Amino acid sequence: MKALEERILKDGVIKPGGILKVDNFLNHQIDPFLIHDMAVELKRLFGGKGVNKILTVEASGIALAIMTAYVFECPMVFAKKSKSKNISDDVYSVEIPSFTHGNTNTVIVSKEYLHKNDRILIVDDFLATGAALVGLKDLAMQAGAEVVGAGIAVEKLFQGGGNKLREQGMQVESLARISSMTDDGKICFS
Amino acid sequence: MKALEERILKDGVIKPGGILKVDNFLNHQIDPFLIHDMAVELKRLFGGKGVNKILTVEASGIALAIMTAYVFECPMVFAKKSKSKNISDDVYSVEIPSFTHGNTNTVIVSKEYLHKNDRILIVDDFLATGAALVGLKDLAMQAGAEVVGAGIAVEKLFQGGGNKLREQGMQVESLARISSMTDDGKICFS
């Protein structure tokens, strides 16, 4: 998506260790018009698939996910990072390692909000190693729901998570696909 | 706001200890149309105030805040819960005690995203003791920004936080104002 690539080139900042900061418009300060245009693009990509629920994980996936839910005219569910290790029987849970923070989060969804007949589109702001996507897919599968695909804002192709999931048959669509980036600030899209 | 009150009566669940769960439509599973209608109502209430930025705190304020930003045609900023106690010079920070979780979070906003000339509308899903609102107002004041007011989904009037802030001169508008609720499930609006 051209507008997103241009915005990354204009406002993205590369930090040492392969971290791309898009705090200016995507996950700290957020441009609601860009988010809306991205949601419309996800509707174009997944519109014919019978999606009835959008699934993301807190916190930075929520903005794109709620706007996508608005455009798809269906509810959004966000998985919560659990504060306790004692997981109740009322929730589905999964462990998701964080690339950015170097830790692992236990992530939960109430069993009330994922069902066997759901057709789920997973939405997130970033795709790198794919750990969050794998975790969210796992939550959906625990409920017996079908994952129709994943709509991502920014994919770091060179970290391989997206292509691994594509090889397993998941339709993963990323609105900006970064094939390489260097510490001196050069970003290439694919 | 009638639609929100009706939804609370239909889908809200009272838990012991004065906790109202609105997980079904507001802060776990989210109804994007209700959120949009709430954003439109906030525009009616604060539309003439020159708001140029929406401020909230992760995670459950984000959905209403991004939709409000979309309706107001301005950026949204969400304050982040800091993972570390070492706060860098690049951020404004404040301590916010959590009524629901019984702990305290250090909450930060990058100095890049709050400015002296900003006219800020604070948005959040819940208002009880007012701790989150006080903290967000503090962040704005650290930047020298003006807080135009606060737009809240659900206020628990009987916990007093909202009226304390109103007495201090803040325009606090809540879309559902709960004057009392009992453990056996009776909810009264004011």
Is the pLDDT score of A84 beyond 90? no
Task: Work out the minimum CA distance from A27 to partner chain B, whole angstroms.
Answer: 8
Q: Residue B20: how many CB atoms within 10 A of its CB? A: 18
Percent of chain B with pLDDT over 70: 98
Task: Work out the minimum CA distance from B158 to partner chain A, whole angstroms.
Answer: 27
Whole-number pLDDT of residue A98: 81
More confident residue, B10 or A100: B10
**Distance from C-alpha of B119 to C-alpha of A32, rounded to nearest angstrom:** 17
Residue among A30, A69, A109 whose CB faces B76 most closely: A30
More confident residue, A160 or B17: A160
Say if CB B52 and CB B74 are below 8 A apart.
yes
Q: Which residues of chain B neighbour A109 with C-beta distances below 8 Å? A: 28
Whole-number pLDDT of residue B166: 98
**Distance from C-alpha of A43 to C-alpha of A159, rounded to nearest angstrom:** 26
Q: Which two tokens stand for residue A127?
A: 């795709």
Say if CB B77 and CB A28 are below 8 A apart.
yes
Percent of chain A with pLDDT over 90: 87
Report the pLDDT averaged over residues B91-116.
91
**Distance from C-alpha of A158 to C-alpha of B56, rounded to nearest angstrom:** 34
**Distance from C-alpha of A105 to C-alpha of B146, rounded to nearest angstrom:** 36
Q: What are the pLDDT digits (tens) for B115-135? A: 999 999 999 999 999 999 999
Q: Residue A37: how many CB atoms within 10 A of its CB? A: 16
- Closest residue, chain A, to B71 (C-alpha): A32
Most confident of the ranges A51-60, A80-89, B101-110: A51-60
Q: What are the pLDDT digits (tens) for A121-164? A: 999 999 999 999 999 999 999 999 999 999 999 999 999 999 99
Burial of A142 (0-12, 13-18, 19+ CB in 10 A): middle
Q: Which two tokens stand for residue B108?
A: 């930060």
With an 8 Å Cβ cutoff, are A112 and B24 in contact? yes
Q: What are the pLDDT digits (tens) for B138-189? A: 999 999 999 999 999 999 999 999 999 999 999 999 999 999 998 888 999 9
Q: Which two tokens stand for residue A98?
A: 């964080």
**Distance from C-alpha of A28 to C-alpha of A59, rounded to nearest angstrom:** 10
Q: What are the pLDDT digits (tens) for A2-40? A: 999 999 999 999 988 778 999 999 999 999 999 999 999
Is the pLDDT score of A87 beyond 80? no
Whole-number pLDDT of residue B87: 74
- Which of A22, A29, A56 to mutate to test binding with chain B, by most B CBs within 10 Å of its CB? A29
Complex confidence, ipTM: 0.96
Q: What are the pLDDT digits (tens) for B57-91? A: 999 999 999 999 999 999 999 999 987 767 788 99
Q: How many helices (H) and strands (E) does chain B have?
A: 5, 11
Report the pLDDT averaged over residues B34-58.
98
**Collapsed DSSP state (helix, strand, coil) of residue B83:** coil
- Which of A22, A52, A56, A66 to mutate to test binding with chain B, by most B CBs within 10 Å of its CB? A66
More confident residue, A82 or B107: B107
